[in-house]
Amino acid sequence: MTKKVLVLPGDGIGPEIIAQATKVLDYLNASLSLGLEFTRALVGGASIDEAGVPLTDQTLDLAKQSDAILLGAVGGTKWDTLDMAIRPEKGLLGLRSGLELFANLRPAILYPQLAEASSLRPEIVAGLDILIVRELTGGIYFGQPRGIQPLEDGSREGFNTYRYSESEIRRIGRIAFESARKRNNQVCSVDKANVLEVTVLWREVMDQLAPEYPDVTLSHMYVDNAAMQLVKAPKQFDVIVTGNMFGDILSDEAAMLTGSIGMLPSASLNSSGQGMYEPCHGSAPDIAGQDLANPLATILSAAMMLRYSLQQEEAAQRIEKAVSKVLDQGYRTADIVGSGDITKVGTNAMGDAVLAALKSA
Ligand code: NAD
């Protein structure tokens, strides 16, 4: 059966890194007869230049009709002076809300070959493999009422509302349990149930879901402890599920454990399994067009796309093994050079090395 993939290269290094990921996908599509059909469109600054807006209705429609979207990155100094409402980043927000992408999946994987890139001791982080599942469209970032208002004494107060409905908690919980089944069958739900009623409900709903997944072990942790445990003993975690704000903070903390932003993929999913896949980093205008960007985060995002939206687990694993192999072979882009017997390569050569590793597997 044909599956539709919308490719949105975006701005800055976006087109360069996407070219490496599509190289890998084209090969797997042909050799494993995956039946993938690719369409390309503009987003972000590239779309502003062409159509005056960061996301056109046509591109949003194409996205809605696709099974998955592979995105490079958006943004750059050229568009920084534009009005907030039509900045490149609004294109991403438009895609997230238009497709109701409520679940953000961010793996923090530290390949043993890159252990010295972390600021933590290698024995604490080598082999780290955590998946953070963050609720993306609710919680305190979106809760109403919100605002800044005057007080009777002439000063002002600011306020936000932290709310989650049972159905919002249940749907993100299900994503976490299902994801754990594709990994090591452990979910740690992170909350602040000792202080916040909304997370008392969060904990109750997670407990209600657990019996539906008897093969998965559920544990709970307060967010302050989770922040500490992530730097003390991060390898204790498999899947962490949490709300929007806690997830925002913990996923950045976990990403930094790996020490290399050029290696980190991400996925944002909706309830029908449709997803948008992109590297965690931005468009890196400082190195754009110089064949310096690390394409591995984007190539690994393509692997996540095959796993979570296209049901091609074998192809996903083949990509991940190929990435591990090129690291074993010593290939490094400038951001992950480190010491030892390595071969420094550019964006294109790194893509070629992954392709060669796939072909020789
Ligand atoms: P950035 O992630 O683009 O860059 C931060 C630093 O990391 C830079 O020094 C860059 O050279 C380096 N870097 C990033 N990706 C790399 C890669 N693959 N290989 C090697 N080095 C890499 O963040 P920034 O500089 O804060 O933002 C630049 C632009 O990207 C801004 O316009 C910002 O709004 C946008 N942005 C977009 C996204 C997105 O598209 N999802 C996310 C974050 C930032």
- Specify the pLDDT at position 361: 85
Look at residue 340 and tell me whether its pLDDT is greater than 90: no
Per-residue burial over 266-288, b = 16 or more CB atoms within 10 Å of its CB, e = otherwise: bbbbbeeebbbbbbbbbbbbebb
Ligand 1: which of 258, 283, 287, 336 to mutate, most ligand atoms within 8 Å of CB?
Answer: 283
- Specify the pLDDT at position 170: 98
Question: Which of ligand 1's atoms lies nearest the C-alpha of 79?
Answer: 32
* Over residues 67-71, mean pLDDT: 98
Catalytic residue among 57, 61, 207, 224: 224
pLDDT band for position 42 (50/70/90)? Answer: very high
CA of 206 to the centre of ligand 1 (A): 35
* Over residues 99-119, mean pLDDT: 90
Distance (Å, rounded) from C-alpha 293 to C-alpha 283?
A: 10
pLDDT band for position 203 (50/70/90)? Answer: very high
Give the tens place of pLDDT for each residue, 301-313.
999 999 999 999 9
Look at residue 259 and tell me whether its pLDDT is greater than 80: no
* Over residues 173-196, mean pLDDT: 97
SS3 state at 105: strand
46 phi and psi angles, rounded to 5 deg = -60, -35
- Specify the pLDDT at position 93: 87
Distance (Å, rounded) from C-alpha 21 to C-alpha 13?
A: 13
Rounded-to-10 torsion of CA 192, 198, 201, 206: -60
- Specify the pLDDT at position 69: 98
- Specify the pLDDT at position 346: 98
Q: Ligand 1 pocket: which residues have CB below 6 Å?
A: 13, 73-76, 89, 92, 261-262, 278, 281-287, 293-294, 297, 335
Question: Which amino acid, one-letter code, is at 224?
Answer: D
Q: Note the pTM of the prediction, 2 decimals.
A: 0.90
* Surface-to-core class of residue 302, CB atoms within 10 Å of its CB (0-12 exposed, 13-18 middle, 19+ buried): buried
CA of 233 to the centre of ligand 1 (A): 28
* Over residues 196-209, mean pLDDT: 98
- Specify the pLDDT at position 236: 97
- Specify the pLDDT at position 252: 87
- Specify the pLDDT at position 279: 96
Question: Which of ligand 1's atoms lies nearest the C-alpha of 76?
Answer: 32
Residue 252 annotated in active site: yes
CA of 284 to the centre of ligand 1 (A): 4
CATH architecture of 129-257: 3-Layer(aba) Sandwich (3.40)
What average pLDDT is seen over the chain?
95
Q: Which residue has the higher pLDDT, 360 or 361?
A: 360
Look at residue 35 and tell me whether its pLDDT is greater than 80: yes
3-state helix, strand, coil in the chain (%, to 5): 50, 20, 35
Question: Which of ligand 1's atoms lies nearest the C-alpha of 293?
Answer: 19
120 DSSP assignment: S
Residue 248 annotated in active site: yes
CA of 276 to the centre of ligand 1 (A): 18
Task: With both helix axes pointing from N to C terminus, report the angle between 57-65 and 89-98 in degrees, rounded to the nearest 10.
Answer: 40
- Specify the pLDDT at position 337: 84
Question: Which of ligand 1's atoms lies nearest the C-alpha of 17?
Answer: 18
Residue nearest atom 13 of ligand 1, based on CA coordinates: 284
Look at residue 357 and tell me whether its pLDDT is greater than 80: yes
Give the tens place of pLDDT for each residue, 126-182.
889 999 999 999 999 889 999 999 999 999 999 999 999 999 999 999 999 999 998
Catalytic residue among 192, 308, 331, 335: 192
CATH architecture of 1-106+264-361: 3-Layer(aba) Sandwich (3.40)
Residue nearest atom 12 of ligand 1, based on CA coordinates: 284
221 DSSP assignment: E
Residue nearest atom 8 of ligand 1, based on CA coordinates: 284
Look at residue 282 and tell me whether its pLDDT is greater than 90: yes
Rounded-to-10 torsion of CA 311, 17, 109, 246: -90
Look at residue 23 and tell me whether its pLDDT is greater than 80: yes
- Specify the pLDDT at position 260: 80
40 phi and psi angles, rounded to 5 deg = -115, 150
- Specify the pLDDT at position 148: 94
101's tokens: 């992408």
Question: Which of ligand 1's atoms lies nearest the C-alpha of 80?
Answer: 32
Question: Which of ligand 1's atoms lies nearest the C-alpha of 74?
Answer: 40
Distance (Å, rounded) from C-alpha 243 to C-alpha 134?
A: 6
Cβ pair 279, 73 in contact under 8 A = yes
| Domain coordinates in residue numbering, the chain | 1-106+264-361, 129-257
Residue 111 annotated in active site: no
71-80, 186-195, 229-238, 337-346: least confidently modelled range: 337-346
* Over residues 346-353, mean pLDDT: 98
Distance (Å, rounded) from C-alpha 183 to C-alpha 199?
A: 26
CA of 73 to the centre of ligand 1 (A): 8
Give the tens place of pLDDT for each residue, 261-272.
899 999 999 989
Residue nearest atom 25 of ligand 1, based on CA coordinates: 284
**CB atoms < 10 A from the CB of 227, how many?**
16
Distance (Å, rounded) from C-alpha 142 to C-alpha 282?
A: 23
Residue nearest atom 34 of ligand 1, based on CA coordinates: 75
Fold agreement (1-106+264-361, 129-257): yes
Task: With both helix axes pointing from N to C terminus, report the angle between 347-360 and 296-308 in degrees, rounded to the nearest 10.
Answer: 50
